[in-house]
Amino acid sequence: MFLRELRTQPGELKGIGPRTAEAFASLGIESLGDLLLHAPRYYEDRKTEVPLSKGVGGSPVNTIATVIAHDWFGFGRRRTLKVWIEDSSGRAALNCFGRNFLQQKLPVGAQIRIYGQFSYRFGEIQASSFEFEASETPSGTSSFGSLVPIYPAGASLRQGAIRKAIHEGLAKYIDQIEDELPPIYAREEIPVSKKKQLQGLHCPETLDEVRLARRALAWEEFFYLQLSIARRGLALRSTRKERTTARGTLARRVLESLPFELTRDQKTVLREIREDLRGSRPMARLIQGDVGSGKTLTAFLAACESIEAGEQAAFMAPTELLARQHAENAARLLEPAGVRLALLTGSVQSRAREEILSRLESGEIDLLIGTHALFSEGVRFRCLGLAIIDEQQRFGVLQRVALSQKGEEPDTLVMTATPIPRTLAMTVFGDLDVSVIRSMPPGRKPVITHLARMGREEKVYEWLKKEVRTGRQAYCVYPLIAESSKMDLKDAEGMYEALKQRFPDFRLGLIHSRLDEEEKVSVMRSFSSGEIDILVSTSVVEVGVDVPNATCMVVEHAERFGLAALHQLRGRVGRGEFQSYMFLVYAPDLSEEGKRRLRVMMENSDGFAVAEEDLKIRGPGNMTGTEQAGFLRLRFADPAADGETMLRARNLARKILQDDPGLLKPENSLLRQVINRTRPFEEELINGG
Ligand code: ADP
Ligand code: MG
């Protein structure tokens, strides 16, 4: 049986009561398979002897000692046992806070093995956190004399209980557990059997064994993730219909009307897209590019290709605000060239909606722009050829599929502005080909970013005043919409009033997610047209809003925002010819790590660099903007640290499927069995995001 088929519940092991079983469940351990994959956080070296006298301030004590006396300190319910122990090097005290019952377990004269971090306090060597066992404990059940795994435990589980359960599980089942990779694919990546992997993880002799085991486990995880993704990709894009290809006339007409040239990267991406469109399989491509790098325009040009070929295109944005903005841009850029377009969002209702839907079905609309309303029921295209999805990180894989199903295997183009490190992109979008736009349109000046401690924001406001006086506009962003009794933070509504007082001559606007769509649109319009000088907001302006005259972005309580969000916010300025500024105002009690994060913003203007730094600081499961990676529940594989391995796994998975899409060859039968019986990552890939 495969490890994941080991569905016996931990509660069925002996010695595990309902309380412990529940504690396991709260760690996500519902079966013995889960339990045996519960990875230690680290290992304590309980092989090397460290006597009491050597343990202070350095490595933990690991010694055999004798209990020599009991002592008590404190009074009443706080009365606490202190156990004095002695080894050949000296003596020390064990403070038994909350564990007075140790009086019985550690009688005077007892010989114990003891492990703990000791320190020198109040004139004695002492420890409050320690593990011990009788010195004559047989080695099979001993948690000394070896490398001892320390597990993630939660509040209600003791390390001993976890270790015991795992050892029992291993003892009972390890001989029945099958390997999950055929040897031909394992080679040097998995030098050890599943059995050895589990032993290396839970009862290693050396740290090298641990490394080997983890590497093998991570490799298998990467491999099955990539294999599952690739198989889904294969299922989604099988063969495609015959189609006429565009000659590029429509796109050229649009390009000729532009006052600028495409950047080199835009041209490259457009070429890649055109090749995809001519290919024998539907396109599935991700365009990654920093905010303002010109993705949207590139996607519009891609749409022109499909439209010229006689098909329809759909363009889905994450918010109504953005959908509207895209529609306005498309009207400006594409309509003069003859493209017929419409906007469909949740707030387009009844008659208007009916009319759009019927024109769509009869093919009188070439490009439909909208929100997720695009894949609501009743939306029928005559012939959907291309589905474009903007700001993919807000949508799950599922939505992409849902939109694709509005057509017969349409081409899909996904754009993401939150820069996702390449390694993560491969995890999340593993079945997409990736294009990157790195170069910015010429003439863009990087935004200058300053940090300011709260209390010094006066200087920031002075700067803002200067900018607005010269005709520019500004954003002031706050973490909350309204005052909160729970959090001592500035809020947009309150600061809107405060800033009105502070700048009586300026025109202020307020926008946040609680306004209804119409209000939001009207505020944004006034800001775009310059009728508002300072827009006070929450992070609703984070994505995609395009007002080139805005040069000043003030974010207060910047420590409350993720780096990805801050980078998105920064993308709202620096969109025109003027030098722009971002001010990050942070709480005075900000930790060193918090400051380090903000300094990343100051020192990096490239979104990819910001994202890589973010990943280093936070780890892959925690990326704002790419939470989709978190849902994958990778236990051993770390795409951030180990991108190269993931790449190898992806290449192998793709190659295997290329040669044998149904995994029917004899050498692939084990792969087929693992997939059929354990369905790796299936749920996550369908429900993700
Ligand atoms: P993104 O979608 O990547 O955020 P957009 O496509 O919205 O970027 O482009 C941002 C702004 O830059 C828009 O005003 C757009 O018209 C302009 N732009 C796009 N490509 C170029 C280019 N090659 N040269 C100059 N300006 C460009
Ligand atoms: Mg955009």
Q: State the DSSP string of 286-353.
A: EEEE-TTSSHHHHHHHHHHHHHHTT-EEEEE-SSHHHHHHHHHHHHHHTGGGT--EEEE-TT--HHHH
Q: 3-class DSSP state for residue 433?
A: strand
The alpha carbons of the chain give a radius of gyration, in whole angstroms, of 31
Cβ atoms of residues 681 and 225 within 8 Å: yes
Atom of ligand 1 nearest to the CA of 291: 4
Most confident region among 182-196, 576-590, 602-616 by mean pLDDT:
576-590
Verify whether ligand 1 is closer than 6 Å to residue 295 (CB atom): yes
Least confident residue range of 323-337, 643-657, 675-689? 675-689
**What does the buried/exposed string (b/e) look like for 365-382 if buried means 16 or more CB atoms within 10 Å of the residue's CB?**
bbbbbbbbbbbeeebebe
Q: Which residue has better confidence, 164 or 420?
A: 164
Pocket perturbation via mutation, ligand 1, pick of 264, 296, 389, 440 by most ligand atoms within 8 A of CB: 296
Verify whether ligand 1 is closer than 6 Å to residue 574 (CB atom): no
Q: Quick check: 135 pLDDT over 50?
A: yes
Res 429: pLDDT: 59
Q: Quick check: 432 pLDDT over 80?
A: no
Structure tokens at 30: 């519902």
- Range(s) of the chain covered by CATH 2.40.50.140: 48-145
Structure tokens at 166: 């795992």
pLDDT tens digits for range 353-405: 999 999 999 999 999 999 888 878 889 999 999 999 886 554 455 455 566 66
Structure tokens at 574: 């620096």
Architecture of the domain defined by 48-145: Beta Barrel (2.40)
List the one residue out of 391, 438, 423 whose CA is nearest residue 290: 438
Q: Quick check: 427 pLDDT over 80?
A: no
- Range(s) of the chain covered by CATH 3.40.50.300: 263-270+294-416, 448-604
pLDDT tens digits for range 330-341: 999 999 999 999
Verify whether ligand 1 is closer than 6 Å to residue 297 (CB atom): yes
Structure tokens at 79: 């009365």
Residue written as token pair 């690991």: 62
pTM score of the predicted model = 0.62
Res 499: pLDDT: 96
Cβ atoms of residues 576 and 444 within 8 Å: no
Q: Where are the alpha helices (DSSP H) in 349-456?
A: 350-362, 397-404, 422-428
Cβ atoms of residues 225 and 430 within 8 Å: yes
Cβ-based neighbour number of residue 639 at 10 Å: 24
Verify whether ligand 1 is closer than 6 Å to residue 546 (CB atom): yes
Q: Which residue has better confidence, 230 or 537?
A: 537
Contacts of 224 (CB under 8 A, 6+ apart): 180, 674, 675, 680, 681
Atom of ligand 1 nearest to the CA of 333: 16
Res 683: pLDDT: 65
Q: Quick check: 544 pLDDT over 90?
A: no
- CA 243-246-250 angle, to 5 degrees, is 145
Q: Quick check: 191 pLDDT over 90?
A: no
Res 686: pLDDT: 53
- CA 114-171-211 angle, to 5 degrees, is 70
- Mean pLDDT, residues 256-278 taken together: 93
Percent of the chain with pLDDT over 90: 48
CA distance 665 to 179: 18
DSSP for 84-98, written as a single string: EEEETTEEEEEE-TT
Q: Quick check: 240 pLDDT over 60?
A: no
**Cα(259) to centroid(ligand 1), Å:** 11
Res 628: pLDDT: 40
Most confident region among 126-130, 164-168, 265-269, 660-664 by mean pLDDT:
265-269
Q: Quick check: 235 pLDDT over 80?
A: no
List the one residue out of 66, 226, 602, 625 whose CA is nearest residue 395: 625
- Mean pLDDT, residues 96-104 taken together: 91
CA distance 628 to 393: 7
Pocket perturbation via mutation, ligand 1, pick of 261, 263, 297 by most ligand atoms within 8 A of CB: 297
- Mean pLDDT, residues 625-645 taken together: 64
Cβ atoms of residues 640 and 619 within 8 Å: yes
Least confident residue range of 14-18, 206-210, 235-239? 235-239
**Cα(295) to centroid(ligand 2), Å:** 6
- Edge-first strand listing for the sheet containing 448-453: 448-453, 581-586, 550-556, 473-477, 534-537, 508-511
Q: Quick check: 517 pLDDT over 70?
A: yes
CATH number for 263-270+294-416: choose from 3.30.360.10, 2.70.210.12, 1.10.10.10, 3.40.50.300: 3.40.50.300
Q: Label residue 523 by pLDDT band (50, 70, 90).
A: very high
Mean pLDDT, the chain, as a whole number? 86
Q: Quick check: 215 pLDDT over 60?
A: yes
Query: In angstroms, what CA-CA distances link 215 with 179, 227, 424, 632?
Result: 15, 18, 19, 18
Cβ atoms of residues 436 and 288 within 8 Å: yes
Which residue puts its alpha carbon closest to atom 25 of ligand 1?
Answer: 441
| No. of helices (H) and no. of strands (E), the chain | 23, 22
CA distance 253 to 217: 54
List the one residue out of 270, 561, 568, 277 whose CA is nearest residue 416: 568
Q: Which residue has better confidence, 228 or 550?
A: 550
Contacts 24+ apart (CB under 8 A), 172-179: 172/13, 173/6, 173/32, 173/36, 174/198, 174/199, 176/1, 177/1, 177/2, 177/3, 177/6, 178/1, 178/2, 179/670
DSSP 8-state symbol, 670: H
Least confident residue range of 53-62, 447-456, 576-585? 53-62
Q: Quick check: 62 pLDDT over 90?
A: yes
Cβ atoms of residues 16 and 10 within 8 Å: yes
Atom of ligand 1 nearest to the CA of 415: 2
- Mean pLDDT, residues 314-325 taken together: 87
Percent of the chain with pLDDT over 70: 89
Structure tokens at 305: 């290709």
Q: Quick check: 580 pLDDT over 90?
A: yes
**Cα(477) to centroid(ligand 2), Å:** 19
Please compute, for residue 460, the number of CA atoms within 13 A of its CA located in the half-sphere on the CB side: 24
Q: Nearest ligand, CA of residue 528?
A: 1
Atom of ligand 1 nearest to the CA of 299: 6
Cβ atoms of residues 178 and 2 within 8 Å: yes
The correct answer on CATH 3.20.20.190 for the domain covering 448-604 is no
